[in-house]
Amino acid sequence: MNKKFLLPIAVFSFAVLLILVLAIRINFSAEKENSRPVDQTSVRNNDIILPSANSVLGQNFIVGIPGKTLDEEAKKFLQQIKPAGVILYSRNYQTQGQLKNLIVELQSFAKNTTGHYYFVMIDEEPGEATRLNLFKNVFDFGFPEWDRIEQDIKGMASVGINVDLAPLADFPFNKDTFIKKRIQAHTPEALVDFNKKFITLLQENHISATLKHFPGMGVFVDDPHKKLPYVSTDQKILDESIKLFGNEIDAGVDFVMTGHAVYDDIDPNVPATLSKKITTDILRDNLGFKGLAITDDLSDMPFVVGREINLVGATAESLKAGHNLVIFSHNPNKTTEVFEKLLLTLQNDQELKSLVEQNYRKVVIFKNEHYKDSLSFVQ
């Protein structure tokens, strides 16, 4: 072949080869990019499309159901509220198998009616409050039996519970406090150490911990299940109580529950449930808590008795105080009534409407990050 043709042919061949190499690299890069997990920061920054006002408000509610099965009455109730989650009690439990079946059915119903899975919550406190008879006698020898505690945590996870309303950070600074029987630690340091390990074990088993009852019930004699307690106490004690929560919030706890009690030295005559100073200024701003703030039960505790506010108004005020979730553990009829009246209130209360929408987004983002796979948390 004439040499004068060789050079153009060589140049052309090289160009074709170069184009092929570049095409392969671009295609590989695109496939690699597509295979990367979704950046959670991007998910957070993208606007979440809001559904109906009913559905948005529902994701601010945690509710209780009456029985051991998901009957038509319970389905109708849950369909109407479309709650963020369900709190379980002894009335919902018969056997481990029955409870697991109930939770599987609840989660399937939740996905179909709300587009998200439920928070399935329960009170299981090591050594005291229990719904499933777990953590019984785990302090019989004067120290926590961690093997038994871990076994019971795995038991909770195996039936599908994904939020434990524990541990308590309410150190009994007052020796006569009602909460003393529910706290096994004898020093604040021992309580922090126990709680941090308990929180870690829950997290390892895909269960969110709930630190309660902020900013600490260990200064009160009266039980808020019976009457609304008030206290005016040494500021140093309150500071130490708040510090206990701060130490355990640093362990990465997902939920913090406030208490139905009045701390006159912080916010006179206003229960923590309704106090923005406590829930927002101290818990959020001072301690830097970024998780979900939740009330104690609003449906069956006397925190509004004798006050110039009804339960609808109190629910609205608790949301305005900075809570992301409100609990209505009992009485579905009362829960529905409060929910429907609050839904009407949203039409004329822009501040409340905005907060409810913010809560919806925060709850949905949390669920998207924690409950990606159908019922994978039911082992």
Mark 223-232 as b/e (b = at least 16 C-beta within 10 Å).
ebeeebbebe
8-state DSSP, 182: G
Q: Are 255 and 294 in contact (CB under 8 A)?
A: yes
pLDDT band at 219 (very low <50, low <70, confident <90, very high): confident
- Tell me whether residue 52 is in a domain: no
Q: Are 356 and 363 in contact (CB under 8 A)?
A: no
Domain that holds residue 356: 59-370
Q: Is the pLDDT of residue 204 over 90?
A: yes
pLDDT at 325: 98
pLDDT at 43: 42
- Tell me whether residue 138 is in a domain: yes
Q: What is the mean pLDDT of residues 361-377?
A: 80
Q: What is the mean pLDDT of residues 117-123?
A: 96
- Tell me whether residue 257 is in a domain: yes
Q: What is the mean pLDDT of residues 223-241?
A: 74
Number of neighbours of residue 359 by Cβ within 10 angstroms: 24
- Tell me whether residue 251 is in a domain: yes
Q: What is the mean pLDDT of residues 99-126?
A: 95
CA pair distance 119, 123, nearest whole angstrom: 13
Say how many domains are in the chain.
1
- Tell me whether residue 43 is in a domain: no
pTM for this one? 0.83
10 Å CB burial of residue 7 (0-12, 13-18, 19+) is exposed
- Tell me whether residue 27 is in a domain: no
Q: Is the pLDDT of residue 199 over 80?
A: yes
pLDDT at 230: 66
Q: Is the pLDDT of residue 75 over 80?
A: yes
375 vs 241, higher pLDDT: 241
- Tell me whether residue 375 is in a domain: no
Cα–Cα nearest to 378, from 166, 197, 118:
118
Mean pLDDT estimate for the chain? 83
For residue 100, give the CATH number of its domain.
3.20.20.300
pLDDT at 23: 43
- Tell me whether residue 44 is in a domain: no
For the stretch 123-182, pLDDT in tens is 888 866 778 878 777 776 677 888 889 999 999 999 999 999 999 888 887 777 767 666
